[in-house]
Structure 1
Amino acid sequence: MGNALFTLPGEAEVGDGRANSFAAEMVGASHDTTKLKRVLVAGGLREAVVALCPALFRSPAGLFLRNKGLFYSYYGVLSAVVVFGVAEAWVGLWVSHDCCRRAVGMTMLWLSVLPLFFLTGVAGSAIL
């Protein structure tokens, strides 16, 4: 069993590899503008869909049921993540028209990690 840092590109990885491939896409996008566009659009749409699924199909549980403020904040934050995902996809399309907008795209790419932490905490094992 080898370390993921020292594997050759043609070697098969053990396990699922979804988290490793997403991290590899982000690192690759920081060096290549065409990958940046693709990662922003795909990642934004992925975030929007993953946030929309628990908002529509899963009721809040645990801490969110203690009072109405937390209950409404659950849906508020999920709605904000959906809007952020759509905005991230829009930035990906906006970056594709001009290579000088790469800094804005990179900022949006690294900011997109924060909603993923929330989504993993709230809907982790059920959706991801």
Structure 2
Amino acid sequence: MVITLIRTVQYNLSELQDVYIHTTCLATLANMAPHVHRLSAYASQRLVSLFDMLFWKYNKLAEVCDNQMTLAKGNSIEDDTSTEMHIYTDFLRLVLEILNAILTYALPRNPEVIYAINAQARSISAFQESSTFQ
């Protein structure tokens, strides 16, 4: 179930861009997270890579937004980028909530999540330096 929901989110990120599918799938994962048992290495890696992909897209949007702010003010493209950045911020917070729930309530039953997080330590350390999420 976890893999199916993560694949749905990742496909939707690349093809459909429907906010409601993202929100529904991530909310379902957040509700399931404290009750997850024996999450496989593949599912754990996909969950952490979803975080990595969302953070990468967020950083890219932040760069575009910064460039647009220096070039023009009050542009409708700037507003669209700002709205999209806000959406990705919410998605990142939901994925962090999912990881936190697994680590807090189901850690002894899911050691593979720790291995997946350690494998992506470089991107997570870059995330820690982001001023928005400190």
TM-score if structure 1 supplies the norm length? 0.39
TM-score if structure 2 supplies the norm length? 0.37
From the CA coordinates, give the structure whose radius of gyration is larger.
1
